Amino acid sequence: MLHLRTIVPPELTETVLEDFGRHPGVANVVLLPGAARSPEGDVIQADVARESADEIVEGLKSRGVEQCGSITLGRFELAVGEVFDEAEEAAPGYGDDAVIWQDLDRKTAEETVLTWTFLAFLALATQLAGIAALIDSSVLVVGAMVLGPEFGAVAAISYGLLFGDLRRVGAALRTLAIGFALAIAITFVCAWVSHLIGVIDLDELPTDRPQTGFVYSPDRWSFIVALLAGTAGVLSMTSGKASALVGVFISVTTVPAAGNLAVALALSHSSEIRGSILQLLVNLLGMIIAGIVTLAVQRLAWNAVLRRRRRTQGPPSVAG
């Protein structure tokens, strides 16, 4: 269950209350007349089954609440009561399968912003990956994978391509391009200076790297893993199961390939430069394709659930 709070002008209050009353996925509706001061209006609170949330938010927006008031949606740590069970049973489908598209739209928009935090995490992860390449450490490769923040921007590209939002795609591509370029440049400089002063005593990267050689040797499995990881990543974002993203990060070799590329450039190891670039591109492309397909399938499947419910129960939309 999710908790919904909306501020509406008094002239819309009764309409919104009637809409909530008609929707089977809504419970515990509370009206606080005149409670809001900025913006001014009535506060209406309700508990909403996750599988009904997107439909309800869309309905409120169609009423104009977005322009003249506000809509907030949050998660419960605990919800006990028969009203919750009844609302979840009456709502269409299952909560884990439902996508709150408004929330996903906001998340992916935020991930296109190039922030210092994003750059810092990506640079640190890439340097870890560079060290992993030098000492052939699988532990450091995994650490670099987990630390890398790039999947959000990848998901934003998939979302933008699916819905024709080219501005979002461009912003996400810019974030990835600048982020990886800066992270690789920082790691290159660190490796080059370290080589000059003798911290790195190798003339080139080791040829025998059983633990980390895969990061610059892309093959068909690299693309398949990227597809699977991209699918799992989008599912974790849309279902709210953020813990699954850790598994996604450990599956793809974008950051390890970037770190290997930086060190290979510093040591002029041309064969690993080409392999690292290809590995990086293969992973990004695979995740983007998987993200588009996954979102498209989710949208089609959920629309089918809603159509089936409307045929059997009639339209409960809060838009009336």
Question: Which tens digits make up the pLDDT trace of 155-171?
Answer: 999 999 999 999 999 99
| Residues 3 and 73 sit within 8 Å (Cβ to Cβ) | yes
Query: Cα separation of 267 and 278, whole Å?
Result: 18
Asked whether residue 242 carries a pLDDT value surpassing 70, the answer given is: no
Q: Residue 291's closest CA among 74, 52, 111?
A: 111
| 3-state secondary structure (DSSP) of residue 70 | strand
Counting residues of the chain whose pLDDT is more than 70, the rounded percentage is 89
Structure-token pair, residue 14: 């009764």
> What is the token pair recorded at 93?
């489908």
* pLDDT higher than threshold 50 for residue 129: yes
Phi, psi torsion values for 41, nearest 5 degrees: 155, -170
**Residue 223 CB partners (closer than 8 Å, separation 6+):** 282, 285, 286
pLDDT (0 to 100) of residue 86? 75
**Homologous superfamily (CATH) for 2-98:** ACT domain (3.30.70.260)
Whole-number pLDDT of residue 309:
65
How far from the centroid of its chain's Cα atoms is residue 316's Cα?
30
Give yes or no for a contact between 144 and 128, defined as CB atoms under 8 angstroms apart: yes
CB 148 within 8 A of CB 255: yes
Mention every residue, 6+ apart, whose C-beta is less than 8 A from residue 278: 218
Between 95 and 265, name the one with better pLDDT. Answer: 265
Model confidence pLDDT, tens digit, residues 272-317? 899 999 999 999 999 999 999 999 998 888 777 767 766 665 555 4
Closest residue by Cα to residue 132 from 283, 124, 284: 124
Q: Where are the beta strands (DSSP E) in the chain?
A: 2-8, 26-37, 40-48, 70-75
Q: Is the peptide bond before 39 cis (omega within 30 degrees of 0)?
A: yes
